Amino acid sequence: QLTARTYLGGAVASFDGHLVWGTMHAPVVAGILHSFQYGGNPLSDEVVQGTHRPTALFSAKRLESAHPRIRVLYGSARLPVYAPETGWQLAPNNAHQEPKFGPAGFGNPFNLYTWSMGVTDRGLYVGTQDFRYVASGLLPSLAEQIAGTQAMPDAARGADLMRFGSLQSPAVAVSRTGVGNVANYGIRTMVAEPDRLYLGTANPMNLLPEGGWELRRIGGR
């Protein structure tokens, strides 16, 4: 389907005996492609909610074998698909799996990129791009449409930093608010050492009062 063509590969890490990776999905791009193909407004409710895809996270092991085991860690069991004859309908994901730990975007539909990963002796850290700050400021109606795509218990602005202690348990939030600055809409890069994690943030809001750029270190002894 058209939406699948707009997916990009996100960060990748080796952790807990598995290869772990996530997706990246630029906002509105799938809606524009849908409109080129079928017509209509790419910002209409049905197109935005039909093509919007928060980041999904996967793990895999035994990749050298003929039958690798790939697991959906965070994602959607059913996704909207479009056919001209029937319109929008929900269909199972291609893995035909229920996500192991929870919904796409770590439960936040504005988390669109798995932008960075790093492994320390405390576990696997995953940094996202959270589009809520940008959408709320530039296109409030789009923010409302995205918020309607799934239940959103944590509506905070700012990039999320999540940590897995192992792949047997869900990730826990280190920060849901841009590691102290809600204008940090992405954890863009990481440098990991056994006892330290350095983060570089993405922040194009430097002219706003809440803006600014920074380099932070998480943890340490």
Q: What is the pLDDT of residue 215?
A: 47
Encode the chain (221 residues) as per-residue pLDDT tens digits.
788 899 999 999 999 999 999 999 998 999 999 999 999 899 898 999 999 999 999 999 988 888 889 999 999 999 999 999 999 999 999 999 999 999 999 999 999 999 999 999 999 999 999 988 888 777 778 888 888 766 655 557 899 999 999 999 999 999 999 998 888 999 999 999 999 999 999 987 765 555 444 445 555 44
* Rounded CA separation 135/112 (Å): 12
Q: Report the SS3 class of residue 163.
A: strand
Cβ proximity of 215 and 143 under 8 Å: no
Task: Tell me the C-alpha distance between 145 and 8, whole Å.
Answer: 22
pLDDT of residue 157: 84
pLDDT at residue 213, as a whole number: 43
**Encoded amino acid at 215, one letter:** L
Question: Is 72 within 8 Å of 56 (Cβ atoms)?
Answer: yes
Please give the Cα distance from 10 to 12 (Å, whole number): 7
Q: Are strands 69-75 and 102-103 parallel, antiparallel or unpaired?
A: parallel
Count other Cβ atoms within 10 Å, centred on residue 83. Answer: 11
Q: What is the pLDDT of residue 207?
A: 59
